[in-house]
Amino acid sequence: MKIGIVGLGLIGGSLAHDLGRHHEITGVSRSSATVAEALSQGLIRQGGESLGLLGSCELVFVCTPIGLTLETIRALAAVLPPETILTDVASVKAAIVPAAEALWPNFVGGHPMAGGEAQGLSAARAGLFRGRPYVLTPTPRTPAAACTALEDLVGELGARLVRTDPETHDRAVARISHLPVFVGAALLLNLAASGDPTASTLASSGFFDTTRVGGGNPQLGAAMAEWNRAALLAELCSYRDHLGRLEQAIAAGDWQAVEQRLGECRKTRREVCEGGI
Amino acid sequence: MKIGIVGLGLIGGSLAHDLGRHHEITGVSRSSATVAEALSQGLIRQGGESLGLLGSCELVFVCTPIGLTLETIRALAAVLPPETILTDVASVKAAIVPAAEALWPNFVGGHPMAGGEAQGLSAARAGLFRGRPYVLTPTPRTPAAACTALEDLVGELGARLVRTDPETHDRAVARISHLPVFVGAALLLNLAASGDPTASTLASSGFFDTTRVGGGNPQLGAAMAEWNRAALLAELCSYRDHLGRLEQAIAAGDWQAVEQRLGECRKTRREVCEGGI
């Protein structure tokens, strides 16, 4: 299959690593140095800075930052034949999928849930998606053939296929991905504002783990908030309620209730880590 | 040196692992099976269920759960000669140290900041304290010789000695250890209450890390809240403010402010991980 990838960062580069073994990959990046690097590593068969290079591709992955996804699809619509399948990798879907479908009917929304702290082509690697969820969000308008083609590629990546609608996806990632960013961030802001050198000296693995995603890439965090604002605000609101109820139990000195709720937490985490509550 | 250890769990057992190489260790546990196991592993020279076995020890570590610390010290006071140095390992100090000093003037409060998800003697291991903070909280009443003796042992463990007063210790651990438990716990309660199977399916490393301590031992979490209640409530209050300000910036659509604050978070986390802000 002739596959195009726009954006050769962590996700686009890792797709090239895995799909390049059985497919012919054309890569497009805004950076000529990145294209040169991808060519020299043998990750792509050909590439450049122009979307026009993708005219003969049967399927194109749009792997730009979220904020450039729709304008990239708009630009691709001017150069691709209508049979080309387009898909994206943005971590939010409700604000992308309907607009993308309007620009390109042969579109399937996607979200491979993989990544890490490092960014860019240098962080890309083979096997990044293996065993990880790869969400597809087809709608009633999505052509069945496009969805099938993409499902086959998800299978080749060794990822776990999850199909859902854009709104369900966005609520879910607000709960388990976007909310934890802001919950952890507030722990860091609280520590910084305290100016407490002892706390900083004593901070250890518990604090580091709890704040890992909160102390991550600020552009990515802000983009999550911007593109998934309504779902994230709803989660922040319900989160505040749950934290407030724990706080009330502590203020009331009801240690039995505190222990009972923490017991529910342990149970929930074990169930989720084992794959589903 | 003749050293006694009351409570042969993760902390007490790990102390026996490290200190047993150069000292004669007597171990006391409420469980005869635990004593037998410690003897068979060669972790202790002698042991049993009675505190009376510790009468000839020069220094005794009280490694029981927090809630049993003071009653153990009270019971030890009836059987030890006054020159014996007592220390504890409880993760809160202000509610322990003055009361312990009243029961036993030759007392030094301590808190080795090490541990893990596993508990009990089977989780104990050599080197647990190496490179980790070991906080001592001497007061103006603490005998200098007792403090020096304990500092020498902290050095033998390879731990990083931190000296501070009980109140400063408790505020610091509220910020970086106890608050993260409840912050992570509320994320789990929020997910459980949603009943959202997609969220549970998509939860991955970011969610798992952020909730690791929140989904930990419920008895330990409740004990932290009970014994460090005032400091924890103060942190919950200021935490809520910081989270609320992030939420307001998101609600206002001020993405520049969101990104700027997340940038501060990344900077703070890097500084803390590198050892001090």
User: How many CB atoms are closer than 10 A to CB A99?
Assistant: 15
How much is the average pLDDT of B52-66?
96
C-beta separation of A233 from B156 below 8 A: no
Dihedral sign, Cα of residue B14, residue B20, residue B23, residue B28: positive
How much is the average pLDDT of A205-218?
94
In this complex, do B211 and A133 lie within 8 Å of one another by their Cβ atoms? no
* Residue B219 touches chain A, beta carbons under 8 Å: yes
Q: Which residues of B touch A231 (CB under 8 A)?
A: none
* Residue B216 touches chain A, beta carbons under 8 Å: yes
CA distance B167 to chain A (A): 11
DSSP string, A117-180: S--SGGG--TTTTTTSEEEE---TTS-HHHHHHHHHHHHHTT-EEEE--HHHHHHHHIIIIIHH
What ipTM goes with this model?
Answer: 0.91
Q: Quick check: B38 pLDDT over 50?
A: yes
pLDDT of residue B144: 97
How much is the average pLDDT of A72-101?
97
Tell me the C-alpha to C-alpha distance, in Å, between residue A251 and each of A245, B134, B168.
10, 29, 21
How much is the average pLDDT of A78-104?
97
pLDDT of residue A60: 98
In this complex, do A176 and B202 lie within 8 Å of one another by their Cβ atoms? yes
pLDDT of residue B275: 62
Q: Quick check: A169 pLDDT over 50?
A: yes
Partners of residue A48 on adjacent β-strands: A28
* Residue A234 touches chain B, beta carbons under 8 Å: no
Q: Quick check: A277 pLDDT over 50?
A: no
In chain A, domain spans? 2-164, 168-273
B25: Cβ–Cβ under 8 A, 6 or more apart, which residues?
B3, B4, B5, B16, B19, B43, B44, B45
Interface test with B, best of A111, A129, A137, A183 (most B CBs within 10 A): A183
* Residue A216 touches chain B, beta carbons under 8 Å: yes
* Residue in chain A lying closest to B166 (CA): A198
For B243, which of A173, A182, A255 is closest by C-beta distance? A182
Q: What is the fold of B2-164?
A: Rossmann fold (3.40.50)
> What is the rounded CA–CA span in Å between residue A59 and residue A1?
8
CA distance A211 to chain B (A): 6
pLDDT of residue B125: 95
* Residue A231 touches chain B, beta carbons under 8 Å: no
Q: Quick check: A67 pLDDT over 50?
A: yes
Q: Which residues of B touch A204 (CB under 8 A)?
A: 113, 132-133, 176-177
* Residue B95 touches chain A, beta carbons under 8 Å: no
pLDDT of residue A114: 86
C-beta separation of A235 from A243 below 8 A: no
For A183, which of B183, B222, B275 is closest by C-beta distance? B183
* Residue A119 touches chain B, beta carbons under 8 Å: no
Q: Please report, as a single letter, which amino acid is at residue B229.
A: R
pLDDT of residue B97: 98
pLDDT of residue A275: 61
For A250, which of B225, B239, B259 is closest by C-beta distance? B225
* Residue A170 touches chain B, beta carbons under 8 Å: no
- Please give the structure tokens belonging to residue A82: 């209508």
Where residue B276 falls among pLDDT bands split at 50, 70, 90? very low
In this complex, do A232 and B214 lie within 8 Å of one another by their Cβ atoms? no
A-B CB pairs within 8 A amount to 332
What's chain B's average pLDDT?
Answer: 96
Q: Please report, as a single letter, which amino acid is at residue A203.
A: A
Q: Quick check: A80 pLDDT over 60?
A: yes
| Touching A: B residues 125-164, CB under 8 Å | 132-133, 135, 162, 164
In this complex, do A208 and B273 lie within 8 Å of one another by their Cβ atoms? yes
pLDDT of residue B277: 43
Give B196 or A204, the one with higher predicted confidence.
Answer: B196
CA distance B128 to chain A (A): 13
* Residue B243 touches chain A, beta carbons under 8 Å: yes
Q: Which residues of A touch B169 (CB under 8 A)?
A: 198
How much is the average pLDDT of B152-174?
97
Q: Which residues of A touch B248 (CB under 8 A)?
A: none
Q: Which residues of A touch B95 (CB under 8 A)?
A: none
pLDDT digits (tens, 9 = 90+) for A19-45: 999 999 999 999 999 999 999 999 999
> What is the rounded CA–CA span in Å between residue B245 and residue B219?
32
pLDDT of residue A117: 67
In this complex, do A183 and B264 lie within 8 Å of one another by their Cβ atoms? no
pLDDT digits (tens, 9 = 90+) for B182-233: 999 999 999 999 999 999 999 988 999 999 999 999 999 999 999 999 999 9
> What is the rounded CA–CA span in Å between residue B131 and residue B201?
37
C-beta separation of A199 from B171 below 8 A: yes
pLDDT of residue B118: 76
The CATH code for residues B168-273 is 1.10.3660.10
* Residue in chain A lying closest to B237 (CA): A247
